[in-house]
Structure 1
Amino acid sequence: MVTPLADTWVTPNHLTTLRLIVGLACAWAFAQGGYVMANLGAVLLVLSNFIDHTDGELARISGKTSRLGHFYDLASDAFVTVLLFGGIGLGVAAVTPGQYAVPLPLTASALGWIAGIAVALIFFLRMRIEARVGKAGTAQARFGGFETEDVLYLMPLVTLLGGTRGFLIAAAIGAPLFALLVIVDYVRAMRRPLPLENYETRETRPPVAAPASPAVPAAFVADAEIERTLDAIDVEAVRREYKSQDAFVYLEKFLPQTITQSLIAAARAVTPNVNRNYLPGHKQGGSVSRHTLDEHAPFVAELYRSPALMRFLERLAGERLLPSPQDDPHAYALYYYTRPGDHIGWHYDTSYYKGRRYTLLLGVVDESSCLLEYRLHTRNPGVPQVDGAVAYPPGALVFFDGDKLHHRITPLGDNEERISLTFEYVTDPRMGAGQRFISNMKDAVAYFGFRQVFRQILGRTKR
């Protein structure tokens, strides 16, 4: 989006200034109070946050970076954040009598300033933690995929529903509590010894070779191996079993050992990028989206597009299959069950596309007691339901129509680990705007977090 600006007089600081102006207008709109101004403020907030990520992208592609620009960007973020919540507090106080504004022994305006300062403190401390121990030091499990900053993108929905007052109260309580947790993380990080390389000078540090990428077969080699595997399979018998089980089939041994080992190496390589989620009563675990895999484990994408694999799946499905669109983070993804209790409850892999969506599960790591439990024929009136369960080990395959199979993964036990790979194929890649919004929100909340799902739209590279 900012590529045309790379060779112009426009600098990242210009975009930071624009973000600051829009952010100030947002805070002013909220401070006026009332339904209309709150909605205007929410729109300006989304626009301000969007612009906030363009300055870093321009700095990256143009090389126009500076220490002053970095400080200006961070200072603007903190300033706008404090004024945003302060403005929300002033707006609530302006339209509601003081004694009814909030059910707490503080004024609404005070709650706004408390929330704003707490959020700014969170940003500052996490920046300091990252500077000392790296990005892994700030990685946290998200409640439903939300981070502190991400929740602000839902502000238009909050204001449309007239929930500004409730949002203020929640922010004034939640932000300080979360800030306390970050303070604890900060203290721990500051007590942690710095990595050895931070103490070495460039002259005394011995040359270290870059770690070798996991050795993976080339795409055409993997495709040839799958062809050889299929030669040993009675594909017609598998197809009949798939149809008799209402579009579901399980093969315990499918992937060649070399491909399985490459997938294991890929899964280990992207472990630092795992996004953990917790949805009470439904889901707990980690995941890595196709966007991260494209960047750090391209072999997964090569396997996803294997002509031999897709021809096999098309024979089972009985129709032409297409890769999911490039902006679908769920197209191929790794799912990590690494903590006791990690699981996912009963669900369908509902298709939001105009056509059908088929799911392919491949076992990668399975040192667990987890089972894929399933129910067949749940949407076939007059056909008895059939229950089953499988534990698919490394190299195993499960293929099904996402709208037909009711399934879940049982909870992980102590000292266990399970990693699986999911491929999603569609018959029609078109999707309505409403369905796209629902699909993106589901993926952001339940799986990958807002940064992964909306990264191509928001360009969230910071200076």
Structure 2
Amino acid sequence: MPDPTSPNPEAPRLVPPPRTYAHMVARWCILPLVRTPVTPNHLTTLRLISGLGAAVLFALGGPFWTVWGGVVFAVSAVLDRADGELARVSGRISKGGHWFDLVSDMVVNVATFLGIGIGLADRFAGPWGPILGALAGLSVGATFIVVFLVHTGGSHPSVAFSYPSRFDFDDALFLIAVAAWFNALLPLLYAAAIGAPLFLAFALWRYWRLKAPSAP
């Protein structure tokens, strides 16, 4: 079993091409790191720190902090793909690292939407801002768990949920950065507070259908 903490002298390995456009960018970014002591968990830690930093910037509110929050969030989203790509290409794959990645995703998404709600509370959303942010963030986090369960159950999420080719469902989170740059976080918050719980319900239904025994 490869040591997930040390560089693999045989890396980079021949691995399948990235499935999505975001993973293509991430793989290009991690290639210089394959034979270095940098591990996938290092990138996951940077993803967690930068994601929480983006949440704080969003919570500060105002155009300046919001734009920079979008920049930091975009970097964090790329790092979210980069850790897995580094693990695959370098051969440093570990179950603990996979769980660390999943927990980091959930924490960052909840914190980000909560930060957006707090940042918009004083100007637009009022006391509903943090509530809507928490609703959206928790729904996205719960959806990550359901998608993970689908994957571990042997069904690929892209098939189970009929994603468009070259996209994953969490690629939609890049819209957070775009909305921050174009002063559109308020409609995004409203849309996420409605759409994320609905998608969670759909994901739970699909998971239940996949787990249900087939009719004779």
Matched letter for residue 138 of structure 1:
A
Q: Give the one of 37, 40, 43 matched to 2:71.
A: 43
Asked whether 1:32 is paired with 2:60, we answer yes
The aligned residue for residue 91 of structure 2 is 63
| Per-residue deviation, 1:168 | 0.5
TM-score by length of 1: 0.38
Letter in 1 for 2:100: Y
Shift of 1:66: 1.2
Tell me the alpha carbon deviations over residues 43-99 of structure 1, each in whole angstroms, 9 at most, x when there is no partner: 111100111111111111211111111111111111101101111011111334xxx
Q: CA offsets per residue over residues 243-279 of structure 1, 9 Å max, x none?
A: xxxxxxxxxxxxxxxxxxxxxxxxxxxxxxxxxxxxx
Q: 1:147 to 1:7 in 2, by over 3 A?
A: closer
Pairwise mapping of residues 326-405 of structure 1 onto structure 2 (< 5 A)? none
Structure 1 position 151, deviation (Å): 2.2
1: CA distance between counterparts of 2:31 and 2:167? Answer: 29
Task: Give how far 1:192 is off.
Answer: 3.6
**Per-residue deviation at 1:9?**
1.5
Counterpart CA distance in 1 for 2:182 and 2:97 is 38
- Which consecutive unaligned segments of at least 5 residues does structure 1 have? 194-463
1:356 is aligned to none
Q: How does 1:252-263 map to 2 (within 5 A)?
A: none
How is 1:105-124 mapped onto 2 (pairs within 5 angstroms)?
107-124=128-145
Cα pair distance change 1:165/1:52, threshold 3 Å? same
Counterpart code for 2:34: A
Q: CA deviation at 1:159?
A: 2.3
Q: Normalising by structure 2, report the TM-score.
A: 0.78
Match of 1:7 among 10, 35, 41: 35
Summarize the Cα distance change of 1:114–1:3 in structure 2 as closer, same or farther, 3 Å threshold. same
Identity of aligned residues (%): 39
* Aligned with residue 170 of structure 1, among 191, 194, 213: 191
More strand by share: 1
- Matching residue of 1:360: none
What is the aligned partner in structure 2 of residue 157 from structure 1?
178
* Aligned AA (1:191): A
Choose between structure 1 and 2 for higher RCO, CA contacts under 8 A separated by at least 6 residues.
2
In structure 2, the residue matched to 1:354 is none
Taking the aligned partners of 2:130 and 2:176, their CA distance within structure 1 comes to 18
CA deviation map 1:152-177 (0-9, x unaligned): 22334322332111111110011111
Q: Specify the code of the residue in structure 2 equivalent to 1:167.
A: L
Partner of 2:147: 126
Specify whether residues 34 and 148 from structure 1 end up closer, same or farther in structure 2 by C-alpha distance, changes over 3 A only.
farther
Structure 1 CA distance for aligned equivalents of residues 167 and 195 of structure 2: 13
Q: Which of 74, 79, 84 is 2:112 aligned to?
A: 84
* Residue 184 (structure 1) aligned with residue 212 (structure 2): no
Q: Give the direction of change, closer, same or farther, for the CA distance of 1:69–1:146 in structure 2 (3 Å limit).
A: closer
**Contact 1:85–1:112 (CA under 8 A) maintained in structure 2:** yes
Deviations 1:81-138, CA, capped at 9 Å, x for gaps = 1101111011111334xxxx26xxx711000000000011111101111221421653
2:161/2:206 contact within 8 Å kept? no
Alignment of 1:16 with 2:67, yes or no, is no
1:197-223 per-position Cα deviation (integer Å, ceiling 9, x unaligned): xxxxxxxxxxxxxxxxxxxxxxxxxxx
SS at match of 1:70: helix
Partner of 1:52: 80
Is 1:138 aligned with 2:166? no
Q: CA RMSD in A?
A: 2.1
Number of residue pairs matched by the alignment? 185
Q: Name the aligned partner's letter for residue 160 of structure 2.
A: T
Distance 1:31 1:148 in 2: 25
Instruction: Determine the C-alpha separation between the residues in 2 that align with 1:19 and 1:156.
Output: 15
- Contact 2:109–2:137, Cα closer than 8 Å, also in 1: yes
After alignment, is 130-139 or 165-174 more displaced?
Answer: 130-139
